[in-house]
């Protein structure tokens, strides 16, 4: 084969595991043979519709086989897959489609309204719709304005079954995943095929994935952690992936027992909701042997609830730019190194650096910097941001602060970028502050994270109004509704008469967080 990217995986897997179940989605099961065939047909259909190497194909939808079929079809063509967060508001979808220049958008029929609004005014020229009530096979694509709209199954059926062996190298772009930036606009992290392959190798080595594993995916695949730390390593090894479109604790417990799942992954809130469900004690969890968690540390009470069932977590740290694994805490050392994010992944290096980018002394707090073949080389169409993201020695600057203990375990001490993690979702205050600042009543604003029992953190807006201006919390939330994803909208608003500032005029967010913790 000339294709050395992820698009070739299913074809390489076909003779080894053709009859084995690759995907389970509801009552539907796809063998590796069927999965490979449908991806080839979709790739040919996309090529017939003008998609070529380097073109971007966006996807908007929950966990569904079509998500992965589109990903692997893009991989066969050398096209770049762009998964979109279904929780975003139309203007946010619109920005990302405009930024990546996607001409094709594949989306769930249930999200047609969001897709249509998000695609308006962007380069998207064709929408391919996944779901029931599609056009009969062979029917030409209807036109909606200047955008062709076609049924997904129609496109797959129309595609040839002839394997496409395109010239795709590990250095070629595979995915663009958008990550919020401190400037208020998200940046597209360009993951190459090599980034994904090396990340999968890290996962397989450090978590000991096997071909007998059954991974239950209860987190959305548009997040890189679910896709690259769970789904793709499992498929690379020839295991089975169970896809769930929405997380429901009772259904998750039922599916673990039904499919004898060996792997689940989530955030602390996910695991808390599972162990607090009334069906927890009665559910057979004996098949589980890999529980991965990211986003923040697992609370002690949750850790103990799982330990009583003989289950242990592998906590970790990473980001979209590291595809996403940087460190992992072995389950066997979760108690001994409680609070740590673990050791660097097998093929990844992590160091702590001073502000001049020189290595920090052992135990000293500094910026966490990462290097390895899983780390991206650039942001999409952001040369300045790309250049600023690396040291002269090629270390990626995470923007997070931490230290290493004497055994080399990494501990996160603070977030240099003030990122808020709410229920596993990353919220960058600058983006929210920019939207709030559109109101003429607002003199200055700071968005901070405050503790929350369920979500870990939730955003709070601290606002200094202009002289004589009036603004209420409901008015602010109404302004943000539709502009930002709901999880980014502050859950509380505090109006202040003065804003604590540094000598240079910057708002002291640490002081605001301290004030919040004292109230």
**What does the pLDDT look like over 187-196, one tens digit per residue?**
999 999 999 9
Per-residue pLDDT at 135: 40
State the pLDDT confidence band at 502, using cuts at 50, 70 and 90: low
DSSP 47-98: HHTT--TT-EEEEE-SS-HHHHHHHHHHHHHT-EEEEE-TTS-HHHHHHHHH
Q: How far apart are CA 72 and CA 7, in angstroms?
A: 5
Which of the residue ranges 357-366, 441-450, 490-499, 509-518 would you say has the lowest mean pLDDT? 509-518
Q: Kindly report, as residue ranges, where domains of CATH 3.30.300.30 are found in the chain.
A: 420-517
Per-residue pLDDT at 427: 87
Per-residue pLDDT at 220: 94
**What does the pLDDT look like over 289-326, one tens digit per residue?**
999 988 777 777 888 899 999 999 898 999 999 999 99
State the pLDDT confidence band at 134, using cuts at 50, 70 and 90: very low
What percent of the chain has pLDDT above 90? 77
Topology of the domain covering 193-350: Rossmann fold (3.40.50)
**What does the pLDDT look like over 39-72, one tens digit per residue?**
999 999 999 999 999 999 999 999 999 999 999 9
Whole-structure pTM value:
0.88
Taking CA atoms, 56 is separated from 20, 220, 305, 411, 428, in Å, by 31, 20, 44, 37, 26
Nearest partner of 423 among 308, 285, 268, judged by Cα: 268
State the pLDDT confidence band at 384, using cuts at 50, 70 and 90: very high
Q: How far apart are CA 76 and CA 73, in angstroms?
A: 5
Q: Kindly report, as residue ranges, where domains of CATH 3.40.50.12780 are found in the chain.
A: 193-350
Q: Kindly report, as residue ranges, where domains of CATH 3.40.50.980 are found in the chain.
A: 6-169
Topology of the domain covering 6-169: Rossmann fold (3.40.50)
Per-residue pLDDT at 446: 92
Q: Coil, strand, or helix at residue 188?
A: strand
Average pLDDT of the chain is 92
CATH number attached to the domain at 420-517: 3.30.300.30
Per-residue pLDDT at 92: 94
Q: Coil, strand, or helix at residue 170?
A: coil
Per-residue pLDDT at 416: 67
Per-residue pLDDT at 138: 36
Per-residue pLDDT at 518: 78
**What does the pLDDT look like over 435-447, one tens digit per residue?**
998 898 998 899 9
Q: Is the pLDDT of residue 105 over 60?
A: yes
Q: How many CB atoms lie within 10 A of CB 475?
A: 13
> What are residue 452's phi and psi, to 5 degrees?
-145, 130
């Amino acid at each position: 084969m000339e294709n050395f990217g992820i698009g070739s995986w299913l074809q390489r897997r076909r003779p080894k595991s053709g009859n084995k179940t690759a995907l389970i989605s509801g009552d539907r099961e796809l063998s590796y043979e069927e999965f490979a065939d449908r991806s080839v047909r979709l790739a040919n259909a996309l090529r017939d519709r003008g998609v070529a190497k380097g073109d971007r194909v966006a996807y908007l939808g929950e966990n569904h086989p079509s998500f992965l079929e589109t990903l692997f079809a893009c991989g066969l063509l050398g096209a770049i897959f762009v998964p979109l967060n279904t929780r975003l508001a139309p203007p946010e979808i619109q920005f990302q489609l405009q930024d990546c220049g996607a001409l094709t958008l594949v989306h769930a029929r249930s999200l047609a309204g969001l897709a249509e609004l998000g695609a308006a005014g962007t380069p998207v020229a064709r929408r391919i719709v996944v779901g029931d009530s599609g056009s009969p096979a062979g029917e030409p694509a209807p036109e909606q304005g200047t955008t062709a709209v076609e049924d997904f199954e129609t496109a797959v059926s129309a595609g040839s079954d002839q394997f496409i062996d395109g010239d795709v190298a590990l250095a070629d772009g595979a995915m663009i995943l958008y990550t919020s930036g401190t400037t208020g606009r998200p940046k597209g992290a360009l993951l190459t095929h090599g980034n994904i392959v090396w990340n999968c190798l890290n996962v397989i080595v450090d978590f000991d994935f096997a071909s007998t594993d059954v991974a239950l995916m209860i987190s959305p695949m548009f997040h890189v952690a679910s896709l690259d730390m769970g789904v793709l390593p499992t498929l690379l090894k020839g295991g089975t992936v169970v896809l769930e479109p929405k997380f429901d604790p009772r259904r998750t417990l039922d599916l673990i027992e039904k499919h004898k799942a060996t792997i689940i992954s989530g955030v602390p809130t996910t695991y808390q909701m599972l162990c607090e469900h009334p069906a927890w004690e009665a559910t057979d969890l004996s098949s589980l042997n890999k529980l991965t968690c990211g986003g923040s540390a697992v609370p002690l009470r949750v850790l103990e609830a799982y330990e009583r069932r003989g289950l242990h977590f592998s906590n970790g740290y990473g980001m979209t730019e590291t595809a996403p694994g940087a460190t992992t805490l072995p389950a066997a050392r979760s108690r001994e190194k409680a609070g740590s994010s673990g050791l660097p992944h097998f093929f990844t290096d992590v160091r702590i650096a001073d502000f001049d980018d020189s290595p920090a002394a052992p135990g000293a707090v500094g910026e966490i910097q990462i290097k390895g073949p899983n780390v991206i080389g650039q942001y999409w169409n952001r040369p300045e941001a790309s250049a600023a993201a690396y040291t002269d020695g090629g270390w990626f600057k995470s923007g997070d602060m931490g230290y290493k203990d004497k055994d080399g375990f990494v501990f996160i001490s603070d977030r240099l970028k003030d990122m808020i993690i709410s229920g596993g979702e990353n919220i960058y205050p600058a983006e929210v502050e920019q939207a709030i600042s559109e109101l003429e009543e607002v003199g200055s604003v700071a968005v901070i994270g405050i503790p929350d029992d369920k979500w870990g953190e939730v955003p709070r807006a601290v606002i200094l109004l202009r002289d004589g201006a009036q603004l209420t919390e409901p008015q602010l939330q109404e302004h943000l509704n539709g502009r930002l994803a709901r999880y980014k909208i502050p859950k509380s608003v505090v109006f202040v008469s003065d804003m604590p500032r540094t000598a240079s005029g910057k708002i002291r967010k640490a002081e605001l967080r301290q004030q919040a913790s004292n109230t």
